[in-house]
Amino acid sequence: MPGRLIVAPTPIGNVDDVSKRVRDALINADYIACEDTRRTGRLLERLEISPKPRLVSNHEGNEQNRATELVKRIERGERITLVSDAGMPAVSDPGYRLIRACIDRGLEITVLPGPSAIPVALVASGLPCDRWRFEGFLPKRSGEMERVLNSAETVIAFESPRRISDSLAALAAIAPERQAAVCRELSKLHEEVTRGTLSELALRHKGDVKGEIVLVIAPAEAAGHGQDIGYAVEALKRLVQSGARPRAAATVVASLTGTRANDLYKALTGREPRR
């Protein structure tokens, strides 16, 4: 019998979200390739899977070498189940290199449906779901954050609890009235979804924040429709690139879009205008 790779999403919090197909894939695996063998071992214990299949680590530090090893095992007819610590492997988690290596060698791959924080957060946010994109982790540079905020689609991004306070403050400085949601500890005991403008969320989440976090940001609106300044800032940039003085250009764009000239100037330059 030919070997195969089975990609199995694991719970993002609640162990009861494991499907029968995922459980079977864990039970019947010759090897389980996992991000953290201790964490996966605890999952197998909670699922009462005994005897435990053999676990091999597959993390960021060894993923390339491990992919080569596991491909050889699959070619010998062994059945490998790939998991990450939570959710779907390869989505901001290890797994892509193994999947790609199997595809390149023409090996059979089965991807099982299951838990993922991305669609859960999107629906829970109450923001538009018809067009959206996953950003991965939020960028650190303000210019890249402006690119995120200029998206015509709802944006979903992961963020660490250590950075969420600073990230919200930076986003609020660019588009204070943009609607967003902070989804924390989804499917876990202390699940929390807070909704509001970026400025409101920045005030609410100052200081220490705990848990796994997904941030959902509403799409940019056309200039002149609402208080979002993302498109107004882009228009200001183009005027300045064409030779206009920043303060004068901010005044013109503000009069056309209904935004505040000082907010536009600060978003462009990163500093307050002189009095």
Tell me the per-residue pLDDT of 216-260, one tens digit each, with 9 for 90 and over.
Answer: 999 987 433 344 566 677 788 888 888 888 888 888 888 777 677
Two tokens, residue 5:
């790779």
What was the pLDDT predicted at 231? 67
Distances (CA, A) of 116 to 9, 112, 121, 212: 8, 12, 9, 12
CATH superfamily of 117-217: Tetrapyrrole methylase, C-terminal domain (3.30.950.10)
- List every span in the chain annotated with CATH 3.30.950.10: 117-217
pLDDT by 10-residue block (mean), the chain, 275 residues:
90 94 96 96 94 93 94 96 95 94 95 94 94 92 85 93 93 92 94 95 90 94 51 81 88 78 80 67
Cα separation of 198 and 99, whole Å?
37
C-beta of residue 92 within 8 angstroms of C-beta of residue 158: yes
**Structure tokens that stand for 69 in this block:** 């090893």
pLDDT value of residue 228? 58
Question: What is the pLDDT, as a whole number, of residue 1?
Answer: 57
Question: How far out from the chain centre does Cα 203 lie?
Answer: 22
Task: Give pLDDT, residue 61.
Answer: 92
**pLDDT number for residue 239:** 87
Which fold would CATH assign to domain 4-111?
A: Cobalt-precorrin-4 Transmethylase; domain 1 (3.40.1010)
Domain with CATH 3.40.1010.10 in the chain: 4-111
Could you tell me the two tokens for 81? 């189940």
